[in-house]
């Protein structure tokens, strides 16, 4: 059938009158407190519903016109959602008491109920983490983003080269920022971390590979792994590797240390390499991870 602007008049007028009647009646009902915003939102929602119903039921227009294009359907959906959200927000704001006798005050504030629901959701997230039993806190521990998230000083190189443990990067002490092996040098990389409280276990792990020109029993060149406070105080030397701990070429070994006693603290993790003025040693580091676990009963 043919469609004209005039054919819209009757459905629109009928929808306006219906929405006004509904809004007026709901406002006058005993025991219900509605401010003008709520009444307007409710009336607007009724108007949209009645208008859609009138369009579909009318004989004076093509019933397929309303949904002829995707854009029209999307526009209608957005309008309905908008009024629905506005109405819901206004009802919460005015503390509508649909199920309470007149004059009776709420026993629990709305925000207290909301906070309880949020806390419940947070607990569910922690339980999900406990199910996986692992949470990684070290950023860019595989050095795939090169030096991002790491602070570097002196002779400590970070980059991408085929001698990594896992693709695509690694860090190397005893190497200049240009990639040259150097003696009589010192350098470090560090990252600020935090071990969350109430963990049942926290372990730091990393993979290392060492190549050296020093004698097989030499301890002249070394790499220390430390935890420092945020003020720079040395709290713990987790491990020390020497030139005598040389591995075969491109062969990596794993070290894991327990850091559970530092739960709940903000720390600085530091790898520091020192070379004497004799033969050089390269200390390669890769896949640095901080793994934490929870017991379900502790959540």
pLDDT tens digits, one per residue of 25-40: 655 655 555 555 656 6
151-298 maps to CATH 3.60.130.10:
no
pLDDT at 56: 53
Mean pLDDT of 205-210: 96
CA distance 78 to 55: 18
Instruction: Indicate whether this model's pTM tops 0.75.
Output: no
Beta strand 266-275 with 281-293 is unpaired
**Which helix H or strand E contains 53, and what residues bound it?**
helix 36-57
CA distance 36 to 49: 20
pLDDT tens digits, one per residue of 139-189: 999 999 989 999 999 999 998 877 777 777 999 999 998 888 889 999 999
Contact 207, 165 (CB under 8 A): yes
Peptide bond preceding 236 in cis form (omega within 30 of 0): no
pLDDT tens digits, one per residue of 259-270: 999 998 999 999
Whether 53 shows a pLDDT value over 50: the answer reads yes
Return the domain boundaries, the chain: 5-107, 151-298
pLDDT tens digits, one per residue of 73-90: 555 656 656 655 665 555
Contact 149, 290 (CB under 8 A): no
Looking at the chain, the number of H-run helices and the number of E-run strands are 4, 10
In this structure, what token pair is assigned to residue 114?
Answer: 């909301």
Please give the distance of CA 213 from its chain centroid, rounded to a whole number: 45
**Which helix H or strand E contains 170, and what residues bound it?**
strand 169-173
In this structure, what token pair is assigned to residue 250?
Answer: 């491109």
Model confidence band, residue 48 (pLDDT cutoffs 50, 70, 90): confident
pLDDT at 51: 64
CA distance 98 to 101: 8
pLDDT at 88: 57
């Amino acid at each position: 059938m043919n469609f004209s602007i005039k054919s819209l008049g009757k459905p629109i007028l009928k929808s306006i009158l219906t929405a006004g009647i509904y809004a007026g009646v709901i406002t006058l009902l005993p025991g219900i407190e509605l401010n003008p915003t709520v009444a307007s939102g409710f009336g607007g929602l009724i108007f949209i519903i009645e208008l859609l119903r009138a369009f579909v039921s009318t004989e004076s227009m093509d019933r397929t016109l309303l949904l002829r294009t995707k854009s029209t359907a999307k526009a209608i959906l957005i309008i309905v959602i908008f009024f629905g959200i506005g109405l819901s927000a206004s009802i919460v704001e005015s503390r509508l008491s649909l199920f309470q006798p007149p004059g009776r005050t709420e026993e629990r504030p709305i925000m207290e109920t909301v906070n309880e629901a949020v806390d419940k959701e947070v607990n569910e997230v922690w339980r999900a983490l406990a199910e996986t039993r692992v949470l990684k806190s070290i950023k860019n521990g595989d050095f795939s983003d090169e030096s991002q998230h790491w602070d570097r000083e002196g002779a400590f190189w970070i980059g991408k080269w085929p001698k990594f443990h896992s693709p695509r990067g690694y860090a190397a002490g005893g190497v200049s920022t240009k990639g040259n092996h150097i003696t009589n040098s010192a350098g470090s990389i560090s990252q600020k971390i935090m071990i969350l409280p109430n963990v049942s276990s926290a372990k730091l792990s990393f993979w290392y590979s060492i190549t050296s020109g020093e004698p097989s029993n030499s301890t002249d060149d070394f790499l220390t792994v430390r935890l420092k406070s945020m003020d720079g105080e040395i709290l713990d030397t987790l491990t020390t590797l020497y030139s005598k701990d040389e591995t075969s070429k491109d062969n990596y070994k794993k070290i894991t240390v327990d850091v559970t006693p530092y739960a709940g603290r903000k720390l600085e993790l530091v790898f520091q390499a020192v070379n004497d003025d004799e033969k050089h040693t390269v200390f390669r580091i890769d896949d640095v991870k901080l793994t934490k676990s929870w017991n379900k009963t502790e959540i």
